[in-house]
Structure 1
Amino acid sequence: MTTKKFVPVMLTPFEDGNAIDYTILEDLIEFYLKAGAGGLFANCLSSEMYHLSREEMLASVSFIVQKVNGRVPIVATGTFPDTLDNQAAFVKEMYHTGVDSVIVITSLLAEETESEDVFEARVNQLLALTDDIPLGFYECPVPYKRILRSDFLGELVRTGRINYHKDTSLNINSVRAKIAASKDAEDFALYDAYMGHAVDSMKADAAGLSCIQGNYFPELIVWLCNHYGDDSEEVDKVQQFFAQNMSVMHDTYPASAKYILEKRGLGITQICRNGSELKNTADYDKLDTLYCQFNALAQEIKLNMVSL
């Protein structure tokens, strides 16, 4: 079985007063890498990118690039609500931070009511406006989710410009079709965001996983990337753990992930700019139960956990 990688969708730590906490951001980078991350996805939805200024996006990504110092590849989102010309200009600015690839948000190139023809024409326009910068795609669910057609993704990959795709289709057949359409490309990787079929996705030859669950328990995602091909009860239990806890990990995210990381010893606050928060005792109880279940599973499979 081919080795798979985990690419965390990075959180943004905030201080009291909502400024980015760069001290904790550096600790978070090291936590991801010690856990075995094979890359980092900076400035994404988990980073609360829509609640960062453009100056903060560029500064935080530049900081991440500097601290990683070439240890793993880094991708970062570079398109936001604006004209196509201005999106292209920001892609160039983001690339100059030193990232390996700039990510394009599919739902920002066409309105939800606009056709696939309109969307695909704008993708090609963006490619023409961004020189030879390596690009990737992210089917971000905000402002709405636009899923790439597999045939179109295959066409884009064959241009040599597209080397990354984060899939959020939640459909294993869609994942398989995209992988088949891009199978001859040497420098292209598809990462699945959906843990409900993580094992099947990697068996279908996805490059790995890029999921919010990695902001709770990155070591467990890395373990699954390393063991997905094993015919074992342990793999089944890890897959089941993620499938059964899907809602609790999504309901108050990313505040919930920050709470778990705080429990694990990272000096991160629960502060979020996007309004996410733990509102009552029930929210905390669910996450405490989740943490207990993780610890029991980690002990059962003899998981090497990162100490913080």
Structure 2
Amino acid sequence: MHKSISGIIPVMITPFGPDGRIDWAGYEALIEWYIEHGSQALFAVCQSSEMRYLSLEERVALSRFTVDTVRGRVPVVSSGHISDSLADQIAELQAVADTGVDAVILVTNRLAAENGTPAEVRASFNALLNALPADMPLGLYECPAPYRRLLSDEEIDFCAQSGRFVLIKDVSCDIEVVRRRVALTRGSPLRICNANAAIAHQAMRASRAGFCGVMANFHPDLYRWLQDHGEAHPELAEELCVFLVLSAQTEPMGYPKLAKLYHRRLGTFQGVESRAVPHDIHARHWGLEAVLDRIAQGTDFYRGRIAALAAG
């Protein structure tokens, strides 16, 4: 029986130094920050990690470093699934599996071309399942780049019934789809973990599987409180949800470089270099620092409200 992987699961970013290489000291500090702020698992080597801009050697190194640094404190899942050919996909997924992660995550848009048929998707599933170790837990990620491929009900049922899959990072952004998927997977090891801030609390209540969105790079502890205590404090939960949704609207303002800028302000690491977003985000998004000021202010405000509530 595979162990359950759920809860607040940040999609990890990758700090780079001025030389363009991975800043390992900064990455280690980031891992500690995630854990200190209530994260219950970590998703390494994903789109937020800029995986499509990393070599296979870098993807494997990130995955292994995460596992070694976490030392079993929380589960680590990892993807790095970017190649086009099935042979290359098998090689990269096997390499990630060998790093000791708790689950290997398949990217759904790698299962067929953008106009691919359900039969092609099923053939890819079968090939990957046959090639990967039978005892390696698997997950699914409806990554929106280079295009979003949402899984059909039939595909989700197939994955649930296989017993091999433990997690879907759901990018449907639709609470009714989340609820339907929860019903489809009931009784299986497969958990539906929503990635969209706008429906975060509703999805948490429907799936009991947490949150796996980009804004866990800013305030994972607020999502953790919403998950653990939101139902008991509906007025504060509703107010907090408004702040979280509005904060999440900054994602198009140069993420993941935006999150790196936020962490430089926190002192987690210094570099804001990004291979996925090489341009100056301040030049494209005016008032960016003031926006981050407000996110930081709101985050501190709600942390204070939560602390006061806990103190009675």
Give TM-score, length-normalised by structure 1: 0.92
Question: Which structure 2 segments of 5+ residues have no match?
Answer: none
Q: State the number of aligned residues.
A: 301
Equivalent-residue separation in structure 2 for 1:206 and 1:139 (angstroms)? 19
Match of 2:31 among 29, 36, 58: 29
Match of 2:171 among 148, 151, 168: 168
Equivalent-residue separation in structure 2 for 1:285 and 1:19 (angstroms)? 29
Letter aligned with residue 237 of structure 2: V
Q: Which residue of 1 aligns with 2:293?
A: 288
Letter aligned with residue 184 of structure 2: A
Q: Cα deviations across residues 230-288 of structure 1 (Å, max 9, x unaligned)?
A: 24211001111112233223322111111222222212321111125422352222222
Letter aligned with residue 299 of structure 2: F
Call closer, same or farther: CA 1:20–1:4 in 2, change over 3 Å.
closer
Match of 1:93 among 76, 95, 98: 95
Q: Which residue of 2 aligns with 1:180?
A: 183
Call closer, same or farther: CA 1:290–1:108 in 2, change over 3 Å.
same
1:108, CA displacement in angstroms? 1.2
Equivalent-residue separation in structure 1 for 2:211 and 2:249 (angstroms)? 18
| Secondary structure class of the residue paired with 2:100 | coil
- After TM superposition, the structure 1 = structure 2 runs for residues 19-168 of structure 1, keeping only pairs within 5 Å, are 19-132=21-134, 133-168=136-171
- RMSD of Structure 2 on Structure 1 (CA): 1.9
Q: Cα deviations across residues 123-159 of structure 1 (Å, max 9, x unaligned)?
A: 2222122241321100000010000113321221221
Answer with 49-58 or 231-240: which moved more: 231-240
Q: Which residue of 2 aligns with 1:192?
A: 194
Equivalent-residue separation in structure 2 for 1:303 and 1:221 (angstroms)? 17
| Secondary structure class of the residue paired with 1:166 | strand
Letter aligned with residue 169 of structure 2: K
Letter aligned with residue 229 of structure 2: H
Do the aligned residues in 2 keep the contact of 1:150 with 1:174 (CA within 8 Å)? no
Equivalent-residue separation in structure 2 for 1:149 and 1:113 (angstroms)? 14
Moved over 4 A (4+): none
| Secondary structure class of the residue paired with 1:72 | coil
Answer with 248-257 or 98-107: which moved more: 248-257
Equivalent-residue separation in structure 2 for 1:67 and 1:51 (angstroms)? 23
| Secondary structure class of the residue paired with 1:259 | helix
Equivalent-residue separation in structure 1 for 2:241 and 2:10 (angstroms)? 18
Q: Which residue of 2 aligns with 1:300?
A: 305
| Percentage of identical aligned residues | 32
Equivalent-residue separation in structure 2 for 1:131 and 1:297 (angstroms)? 44
Answer with 214-223 or 11-20: which moved more: 214-223
Do the aligned residues in 2 keep the contact of 1:202 with 1:228 (CA within 8 Å)? no
Letter aligned with residue 28 of structure 1: L
Equivalent-residue separation in structure 2 for 1:214 and 1:303 (angstroms)? 22
Answer with 24-33 or 294-303: which moved more: 294-303
